Amino acid sequence: MRILIAEDSVLLRAGLELLLADDHEVVASVDTATALLSAVAEHEPDLVIVDVRMPPTFTDEGIRAAVLIRAQHPAVRVLVLSQYVEERYAAELIADRTAGLGYLLKDRVADVESFLAAVAEVGSGGTVLDPEVVAQLVVRSRRTDGLERLTERELVVLALVAEGQSNSTLAAGLSISEGSVEKHISAIFTKLELSPEDSGNRRVLAVLRYLGSDLRPR
């Protein structure tokens, strides 16, 4: 797998390079969000590992760059490393699709093996979200119940939405029309009490509710 690393800490960046070099190709290693965006355009990596806080302000440059990469380069997978949960942009990252996305808190990466497993999972198109990320974003939605009101088919639809499938792909996989998919999703929003006036994207909030529940397959 071809990986691009964006991390302003010289020691951590060098450590990631050494850690990943055995099984992957590190195509570039940068220390600013601007350099990250340029490197993605130049190298077209399979996966970007990016820190949330980068120069010049060390606030949210990295994760804002990650949002842009997801929008402009949909084939590039993104693994975000952070000291904290940046709720606004974390929700925006998940809003479009969860496939090929990871968000890990640095102090909760237990060991090298778990980190490398997360890299492999995200790189193959999977999703790895730190439990604390899910918990904080679910709290952000202000409501945590309602999943028990969904029908079996609605739960299947919501699970596929959580995997990042579009309405058209979902319809083809379930052998139903896109109109039927839209009706199922509308029913999900209604049963989860996610009105158009809810802060945030209803699709995001529904997915986060599902990801934080016991209904998700383990």
Dihedral-angle region of residue 211 (phi above 0 means left; psi in -120 to 50 means alpha; beta otherwise): alpha
Q: Which helix (H) or strand (E) holds 142?
A: none
- Assigned token pair, 132: 């604390």
- Map out the domains of the chain as residue ranges: 2-139, 142-211
The whole-model pTM stands at 0.65
**Looking up tokens 């490393």, which residue turns up?**
81
Question: What are the C-alpha distances in Å from 157 to residues 147, 175, 195?
Answer: 12, 12, 19
Residue 28: what pLDDT? 96
State which amino acid sits at residue 215: L
CATH class assigned to 2-139: alpha beta
pLDDT for res 197: 58
d(CA 61, CA 136): 21
Write the DSSP symbol of residue 214: T
Q: Is CATH 1.10.10.10 the right assignment for the domain spanning 142-211? A: yes
**Residue-level pLDDT, tens digit, the chain, 218 residues:** 999 999 999 998 999 999 999 999 999 999 999 999 999 999 999 999 999 888 888 888 898 899 999 989 999 999 999 887 777 777 777 766 778 999 898 876 667 888 999 999 999 999 888 877 776 765 555 444 578 888 889 989 998 888 888 899 889 989 999 999 999 999 998 888 887 755 457 888 888 878 766 555 54
Residues 6 or more apart in contact with residue 79 via CB below 8 angstroms: 47, 48, 49, 50, 101, 102, 103, 104, 118, 119, 122, 128
pLDDT of residue 135: 67
